[in-house]
A = this chain, B = another copy of it.
C-alpha cells in the first residue's frame, strides 16, 4: 500500500532522492504552474514517472492538508536499523531521540532542523510517538529524504546499545542543573533525547543519561515548543564544532 505525500518541496525532494518508488504524481488542474511545479514535471519525466493533471475535486480527501495542489503516491519510507547505523564509522556524530513526541508538525520541523544542522539520524520508538505520515513528510519539506529515521521497539534498549558503543547520552530535563551550552559537544558521538510535549523525557531514560541539560527560561514561562527546543540545542552543538 502506497503512502501519499503532498506539497511541492516534499515531492521534489523525494524525486531527487530517488530511493523510494513513486507510483504516480497528481497535479491539480486549478493551480497555476510555477518553477517548482515545472521542476517536479521535469524530474518526473527524467525518472519515467507518470504525472496527471486532475480536477481539483480529486484533492477533496486531502482538503485538511496544505497540499499546494500536488500529491504523489509513494512507497512507504524505509526505516533504518540501529545496528546497521552503529556499524558505520561515526566520529563527532549526533543523533536525536524522540521520546513520545505527538505532534506531526513538531516531528517534521525536528527532521528539518536535524538535516540543516548535520545530525546523523533520528530514533523514534514504534509506539508512543508520532510515526512518519503525510503531515510529517510535508512539514519536513523533503528533509526526511536526507536523514535515516531509525525505528526501535524499545528506547531503553536502543539507549543501552548506544552506550555500549561509546555514545554519550544527553537528556533534556527542565529541572537539570546544567544549561545546554555547558556541555562540550566536540570530540564525542552523542544522542540527544527530547521528551514528549507535556511529560518530558521518561524517568527510565533520564536515569540512563550521562548528562541532563535544560534551556534557561525567562519570564517563568517554561514552555518552549519541542522542535524549537531541539533546534536550540543541536545548533549550539554545531556552533561549538564550527568554532572550536
Contact = CB atoms under 8 A, between A and B. Distances in A.
B113 A228 contact: yes
Interface string A211-224: 00001111101111
Given A227-B228, A242-B216, A146 B105 contact: no
A168 to B, nearest CB: 20
B228 A181 contact: no
- The dominant DSSP class at the A interface is helix
A64 B64 CA distance: 8
B224 A9 contact: no
A239 interface: yes
Contacts of A231: 224-225, 228-229, 231-232
A179 B146 CA distance: 24
Contacts of A221: 112, 115-116, 143, 146
A46 B225 CA distance: 30
Nearest to A119: B218
Contact of A146 (B118, B142, B219, B232): B219
A9 B223 CA distance: 10
Number of copies: 2
A152 interface: no
A141 B218 CA distance: 16
A243 interface: yes
A179 B243 CA distance: 11
Interface of A: 9, 64, 105, 109, 112-113, 115-118, 139, 141-143, 146, 179, 181, 215-219, 221-225, 227-229, 231-232, 235-236, 238-239, 242-243
Given A109-B225, A115-B218, A116-B221, 18 more contacts: A105-B105, A109-B228, A112-B221, A112-B225, A113-B224, A116-B218, A116-B223, A116-B224, A117-B217, A118-B219, A139-B225, A141-B223, A146-B219, A181-B239, A216-B238, A218-B238, A227-B227, A228-B228
